[in-house]
Structure 1
Amino acid sequence: MTALIMIGAAVLPSLILLVYFIFGDRFPEPLGGILGTFFFGVLTVIPVLVFAAPLTEVLQPDLLAPIARAATEGFILAAIPEEAFKLAVLVAFARNLKAFDEPMDGLVYGVVASLGFATLENIAYVIGSGDGWLSIAILRALTAVPAHATFGAIMGFYIARAHFEPARRRSMLFAAYLVPMVLHGLYDLGLLATSYSGDIAWIVLGLGTLIIAVVWALRLQRRLRREQQAMLAGTAAASLAAGPHELRG
């Protein structure tokens, strides 16, 4: 029973964020697309581990100075591979769905793919934390899980721009990887450097990056919702304009 409660506590933050972003879409995505993207997001844990495990042996971050260790683990072993494989899910799977037909879709699928990874990661952290699992679950619910979701939202926004603006495809794909990767790395660097060096000043970098990512993602979501509202208004106006002609016909 305790294990089930722990898993529930680990999954609940992702579920709340999924509901928020999925139902924030005025043109909701099909369940199959959501589940497929989430599933592949979960699977990205495997190549991330395959990538990071041998590098850990080579780099031996435990032997480095605290800040160097934090940068190595935050960027090379976490942000770089994790965001790369999430990008692969969006490019190879989500973007090719028939339902991927307007910009908000990129943001939604980006969140879903990222939370697929984050959910499994969160379960591992919570279950592995022993008697202190509740405090870890609460802490990660307020930090790591929202961080993954918002990095994914930002990535998805740029993926959508690459998809719907072919002339800017390369630059938008580059931004889709670079921006969330840098945000992720800085977030991890701040938190890990605080832990390894004992210098509380580094927490400002970690939490500051999280706040920037959250605000950025929410602003992007509001922007895309305004575009959807304009689309709905335009469709309604066109229907009203066509009505009299149809009646006369």
Structure 2
Amino acid sequence: MNTILILAFAPGVFWLWYFYKRDSLQPEPKGLIIKMFIYGMVVVFPAALVETVFSGQGVLVVILFAPVVEELSKYLVVKKIVFHHAEFDEPMDGIVYSAAVALGFASMENVGYLVNARSGGILAGVFVGRAFLSVPGHVLFSSMWGYALGLAKFSRYEYRNNLIRTGLVLAILLHGVFNFLALYSSTFAVGMVFFVLMMWSMVNRRIRTAMKISERMAELSEDED
């Protein structure tokens, strides 16, 4: 079981470090990042329970229902726990905190997937797929609403709901397409690779934009001082 836990959490820890380092201007407190990672682990259980209720719907659950439940679950953790926190003080923070929750979520999911994979003799293949596709995939989906939260926090009140709603819808759509491609991976293997690369491009653009806004905010703050 120790091996399973190491394999389950190692990719999440690596990607958490990666996204944490992308926030080079005002890095978030490590304790708060770890806290959000743990909350992401915990929220897997109510999300899985809701999905289980509708498990009889088969493919529809995987492609349509699961993305809605999982993205809303992760979003609510960030919105309720850290959105109004004093440390959420720049747009990039939305991406960082969404990444922490998403990676906690994906890491806990990994435990179940890898336990089943070991009993089926396909542990190595499942680990590689989860480490390089599914685990970062969760961050890439959630970065859509994380970026939107970061913008909304520092936007006029009347624009907030539209920003957040757009980010959530985009995250759910990307998650649904990813699940579809994963479900039919034998047919769409190449498509999956290109889709993940496209999502990386989308997230990197958002990170660059968020960092530019954060830098501008820091400059304005210095001018006021």
Does TM-score exceed 0.5, indicating one fold?
yes
Structure 1 match to 2:150:
160
Q: What is the alpha-carbon distance in structure 1 between the residues aligned to residue 196 and residue 19 of structure 2?
A: 18
Counterpart mapping for 1:137-176 below 5 A = 137-165=127-155, 166-176=157-167
Q: Give the number of equivalent residue pairs.
A: 221
Please say if residues 87 and 176 of structure 1, whose CA atoms lie closer than 8 Å, have aligned partners that are also in contact. no
Structure 2 match to 1:217:
203
Q: Which of the pair has more CA radius of gyration?
A: 1
Q: Which residue type is aligned with residue 218 of structure 1?
A: N
Alpha-carbon displacement from aligned partner over 1:191-237 (angstroms, at most 9, x marks no partner)? 21345xxxx1x33543333222111111211222233344455666x
Q: What is the alpha-carbon distance in structure 2 between the residues aligned to residue 145 and residue 219 of structure 1?
A: 20
Please say if residues 74 and 185 of structure 1, whose CA atoms lie closer than 8 Å, have aligned partners that are also in contact. yes
Structure 2 match to 1:188:
179
Q: What is the alpha-carbon distance in structure 1 between the residues aligned to residue 107 and residue 146 of structure 2?
A: 18
- What's the secondary structure of 1:143's corresponding residue? helix
Structure 1 match to 2:80:
92
Q: Is 2:20 the partner of 1:22?
A: yes
Q: Which residue type is aligned with residue 125 of structure 2?
A: S
Give identity over the alignment, percent.
25
Alpha-carbon displacement from aligned partner over 1:118-156 (angstroms, at most 9, x marks no partner)? 010112211221132122111211110110111122220
Please say if residues 89 and 113 of structure 1, whose CA atoms lie closer than 8 Å, have aligned partners that are also in contact. yes
Q: What is the alpha-carbon distance in structure 1 between the residues aligned to residue 55 and residue 202 of structure 2?
A: 32
Deviates further, 146-155 or 182-191? 146-155
Counterpart mapping for 1:1-249 below 5 A = 3-25=1-23, 26-57=25-56, 59=57, 61=58, 69=59, 71-76=60-65, 78-130=66-118, 131-165=121-155, 166-194=157-185, 200=187, 202-232=188-218, 238=223
Please say if residues 190 and 204 of structure 1, whose CA atoms lie closer than 8 Å, have aligned partners that are also in contact. no
Q: Which residue type is aligned with residue 7 of structure 1?
A: L
Which 5+ residue runs of structure 1 have no aligned equivalent? Answer: 62-68, 243-249
Q: Which residue type is aligned with residue 62 of structure 2?
A: E
Q: What is the alpha-carbon distance in structure 2 between the residues aligned to residue 98 and residue 229 of structure 1?
A: 18
TM-score with structure 2 setting the length: 0.89
Shift of 1:176: 2.5
Shift of 1:19: 0.6
TM-score with structure 1 setting the length: 0.81
User: What RMSD in Å do the two structures reach over aligned CA positions?
Assistant: 2.0
Q: What is the alpha-carbon distance in structure 2 between the residues aligned to residue 225 and residue 7 of structure 1?
A: 34
